Amino acid sequence: MKKLFILFVFVSLFSCSLNEEEACDRSPSFGAISSFDISNTSFRVSGSINISDCDKDLRLFGIVYSTSELPTISDQKKYFSENDFSVDVENLVPATTYYARAFLNKLERKFYSDQIFITTIQ
């Protein structure tokens, strides 16, 4: 009976350590997003998207923007290929407020950063 108990404890500890090693937080985090080079018809947005090294899922990075708050990927978008980004948004209307946020789309799941707002100059 004592050998069975020791075997049970050993198997339990071993399986717990395997589960801890296999655990991977696949949720991205977003660095601060900022805007600059604002003109009457364009602006530039920069920031970063941080992804866990253990996350190997296919993904698309980008920013979405709109004149309505909380833009989604069904609004205007610009794609980029690096985690750190600086993207020009052009052909805008002067003296108009735009809302923008970064997004990550992977395996039918969408993640968004906090939004920023930018007002183009007159």
Domains annotated for the chain, with CATH where assigned, are 29-119 (2.60.40.10)
Over residues 60-100, the pLDDT tens digits come to 899 999 999 999 999 999 999 888 999 999 999 999 999 99
Distance CA 122, CA 104 (A): 32
Per-residue pLDDT tens digits for 3-62: 554 545 545 545 544 444 567 777 889 999 999 999 999 999 999 999 887 877 768 899
Write out the two tokens for 63: 């920013």
Determine the pLDDT at residue 22: 62
Structural contact between residues 94 and 76, judged by C-beta atoms closer than 8 angstroms = no
User: Structure pTM?
Assistant: 0.77
Q: Is 87 helix (H, G, I), strand (E, B) or coil?
A: strand
What local confidence, expressed as pLDDT, does residue 57 receive? 76
Q: In sequence order, which residues have a C-beta less than 8 Å from that of residue 115 and are 6 or more positions away?
A: 69, 70, 71, 99, 100, 101
